[in-house]
Amino acid sequence: MSKNTMDPRVRRTRLALQNAMKALAQEQDYETVTISDLTTRAGVNRATFYQHFKGKEDLLASIVEDLIALMSEETSRFVSEIPDFSSPVAPAFLVSLYLRVEQERGFYGRLLGRGGSAFFRDQMLGYLEQMIGMHVTRLPASLPLVGRIQGVPPTLTAKVLASGLLGSLTWYLENGRYFAAEDVAAWTWNMQGMAPWKPWSE
């Protein structure tokens, strides 16, 4: 069920629990966060929690799922509007990913940084692989990347690109105060051979 078709009460409860997780994960190690901590912070009872999530890992995964779902929608829109990927700037869907992560730097930095959550990192990587895998076999021949991946299994290409993107996001969380999201998005896009246009700095 998409967020757009979700019952408003369900959406509010889900969001309250997600926000509780985001807040608590910044205050203490993720591993020490309990269901009781989450329900108390969200203002719901334990039974309500289990109506929405199987456990705290399921809740954490939903945060990643919602982030990637938004990016996937924007990616599909970009591909339909600019099928040859020709653009004078980095694509909006990629910039928005960096901006969303920046807006919640405390949460993403804590879970993706050193000593963070291996589960969260694996979830991010898995969803990024799925999203990239949807498009990797349909890239236009004008992209530098296409010539490099001839004969490479699409799943491997998706994994390598997803790993690079996650690494870039992690770097941005550590260094973003010195650089604009648009610049980091463009650098990443260019380094991965996805841009037919000139480097961002020119």
Do 14 and 62 meet the contact criterion of CB atoms below 8 Å apart?
yes
The DSSP letter of residue 198 is: -
Tell which residue, 124, 189, 191, has the closest CA to residue 159. 124
Task: Measure the CA dihedral 42/44/48/50, to 10°.
Answer: 40
DSSP reduced 3-state for 183: helix
Tell which residue, 120, 130, 135, 117, has the closest CA to residue 75. 135
User: Yes or no: is domain 1-53 CATH 1.10.10.60?
Assistant: yes
The per-residue pLDDT string of the chain (202 residues; one tens digit each, 9 = 90 and over) reads 445 566 888 889 999 999 999 999 999 999 999 999 999 999 999 999 999 999 999 999 999 999 988 888 888 888 888 877 776 677 888 998 999 999 999 999 999 988 889 999 999 999 999 989 988 888 888 888 888 899 999 999 999 999 999 999 999 999 988 999 999 998 998 888 876 645 444 4
Dihedral sign (CA 165, 170, 172, 175): negative
Task: Give the global pTM.
Answer: 0.85
Helix (H) or strand (E) holding 178: none
Which pLDDT does position 82 carry in this prediction? 81
For 18-77, what is each residue's pLDDT tens digit?
Answer: 999 999 999 999 999 999 999 999 999 999 999 999 999 999 999 999 998 888 888 888
The DSSP letter of residue 100 is: H
Radius of gyration of the chain (CA): 18
